[in-house]
Amino acid sequence: MKQQNVAVIVIPTYNEADNIGRMIEYLNSKTFPNIIAKKGDLTEAWNMKILVVDGNSPDGTGKVVEKEAKKYNNTFLLTETSKDGIGAAYLKGFKYAIDKLDADFVFEFDGDFQHPPETIPLMLKAMEEGYDYVIGSRKVKGGSNPKGWGFKRVFFSEFGGFVARFILFFPFKNFFKVTDPTTGLKVTRVKGFIDKMDLDWTGDRLLTKSFGYKLQLLFETLKMGAKFKEVPLQFHVRNAGESKIEAKTAKDIFRVAILLRWFDDFTQKFLKFGTVGFVGYLVNAIFLNVFSKSWSIEWLAWLLSTELAIVSNFTLNNIWTFKKQSISGPVALIGKFFQFNLSSAGALLIQTVVGSLGVKYLGVSRQLLLPFIIVFLVLPYNWFMYNTFIWKNKKK
């Protein structure tokens, strides 16, 4: 640990002239002194800074911040040439915080008092405990939605949050661990996370420059292996001014969630694995038909067509599904192909044993049992064997 941890509260603003001055005053006079005095169980030395990223607001937000920046030397203004979306504003802010403000931790924080400044010390506490990523959640004990929200608003927030969680993470552990995926209050460790992130907001690096950035940064940071924790967020109603959320925002967030999951390496790999398996089945079926018509030796037709399917599976998985772990060179290929045959024999054994026992003792029909065995036993078995033994990640 350094002598001092620099935490930068990044606040994007667009037309927040009625809020931002009060917010800066509040943080500097009420919130930061408690942190510096190590109240609330804090033990380390914190250097707190504020960075407002203003989308060149026509209402004079920038002027207000400039005035505050003259008064407080920990307060900075980054003026964008135009309103580029909240996601873009955050990436610009992160870059500035690292390059110019020496940030060790960056906060995502709203300028309209919807995020209570009192949550900041709780989040820093978690950072002191060694977490990399701390999220303010409205869904954990102690967290809440604004009192003024009607049924419809609560329903959409709850339902939307659930759908986002489902699309992004189901059925893996983060589906259960991330309770509030669309929250905007977060703090992230710079070292190992923000400094490894692509902060170029131009081009197509961001799937959206608007509010969907929340899901993208969440997804990316967790993918990087961040140790994360949720703290309760009591989400308030806006102090003044207007929300920048538009009707199309929900649709945009949904689109981002789908794209994130679809283009994820894991998903792509799994889809390719499934496709290769299906091709293998076709090879098996077609050659079984051909061979059994040409010869009268039944078992030979089964054996050869199955082996052709195994060859097809091995080859396609090697050059496509597991391209990054691809095996090359004749000796390695022969060795792995032998291993692959053993693994496939295992799958055959599972299918034979469970299939015949099922038919005999459960009395279920073969055509019903087969797809069940394939989906719930053979697929997971193959996926496991391929990833752990055949195409395991090369050690870095």
Residues found near ligand GDP in the complex (CB under 6 A): 12-14, 16, 53-55, 80, 83, 85-86, 89, 110-112, 114, 243-245
Judged by CB under 5 A, which stretch of 81-89, 109-117, 275-283, 323-331 contacts Mg ion?
A: 109-117
Q: Which does 13 bind (CB under 5 to 8 A by kind): Mg ion, ligand GDP, none?
A: ligand GDP
Our CB check for ligand GDP shows the closer of 186 and 269 to be 186
State which of positions 114-143 bind Mg ion (CB under 5 A): 114
> Can you tell me the distance from the alpha carbon of 311 to that of 209, in angstroms, rounded to the nearest whole number?
46
Our CB check for ligand GDP shows the closer of 54 and 230 to be 54
Our CB check for ligand GDP shows the closer of 245 and 319 to be 245
Our CB check for ligand GDP shows the closer of 82 and 367 to be 82
Our CB check for ligand GDP shows the closer of 16 and 132 to be 16
| Strand 186-189 relative to strand 133-137, pairing | antiparallel
- Within 10 angstroms of residue 338's Cβ, the number of other Cβ atoms is 10
Residue 61 as a binder of Mg ion (CB under 5 A): the answer is: no
Residue 15 as a binder of Mg ion (CB under 5 A): the answer is: no
Our CB check for ligand GDP shows the closer of 89 and 126 to be 89
Instruction: In angstroms, give the least distance from the CB of 111 to ligand GDP.
Output: 4
Instruction: In angstroms, give the least distance from the CB of 16 to ligand GDP.
Output: 5
Our CB check for Mg ion shows the closer of 236 and 255 to be 236
Residue 110 as a binder of Mg ion (CB under 5 A): the answer is: yes
Please report, to the nearest 10 degrees, the dihedral formed by the alpha carbons of residues 238, 240, 242, 244 taken in order: -60
Q: Which does 85 bind (CB under 5 to 8 A by kind): Mg ion, ligand GDP, none?
A: ligand GDP
Instruction: In angstroms, give the least distance from the CB of 368 to ligand GDP.
Output: 49
* Angle 210-110-34 from CA coordinates, rounded to 5°: 155
Write the burial class of residue 196 (CB in 10 Å: 0-12 exposed, 13-18 middle, 19+ buried).
exposed
Residue 210 as a binder of Mg ion (CB under 5 A): the answer is: no
Q: Which does 83 bind (CB under 5 to 8 A by kind): Mg ion, ligand GDP, none?
A: ligand GDP
Whether 190 and 105 have beta carbons less than 8 Å apart is answered as yes
Could you write out the DSSP letters of every residue in 66-131? HHHHHH-TTEEEEE-SS---HHHHHHHHHHHHHHTT--SEEEE--SSSSS-TTHHHHHHHHHHTT-
Cα 330 to Cα 335, 337, 358: the distances in Å are 9, 10, 41
Write the burial class of residue 378 (CB in 10 Å: 0-12 exposed, 13-18 middle, 19+ buried).
buried
Residue 13 as a binder of Mg ion (CB under 5 A): the answer is: no
- Within 10 angstroms of residue 83's Cβ, the number of other Cβ atoms is 18
Residue 16 as a binder of Mg ion (CB under 5 A): the answer is: no
Instruction: In angstroms, give the least distance from the CB of 108 to Mg ion.
Output: 12
Judged by CB under 5 A, which stretch of 110-118, 136-144, 291-299, 349-357 contacts Mg ion?
A: 110-118
Q: Please name the helix (run of DSSP H) or strand (run of DSSP E) that holds residue 187, with its range, or none.
A: strand 186-189
| Backbone torsions φ then ψ of 262, nearest 5 degrees | -65, -45
Our CB check for ligand GDP shows the closer of 217 and 301 to be 217
Instruction: In angstroms, give the least distance from the CB of 204 to ligand GDP.
Output: 18
Query: Which residues in 38-63 are b (16+ Cβ under 10 Å) and which e?
Result: eeeebeeebbbbbbbbbbebeeebbe
Instruction: In angstroms, give the least distance from the CB of 114 to Mg ion.
Output: 4
Q: Measured in Å, how far apart are the chain's first and last C-alpha atoms? A: 27
Residues lying near Mg ion in the complex (CB under 5 A) are found at 110, 112, 114
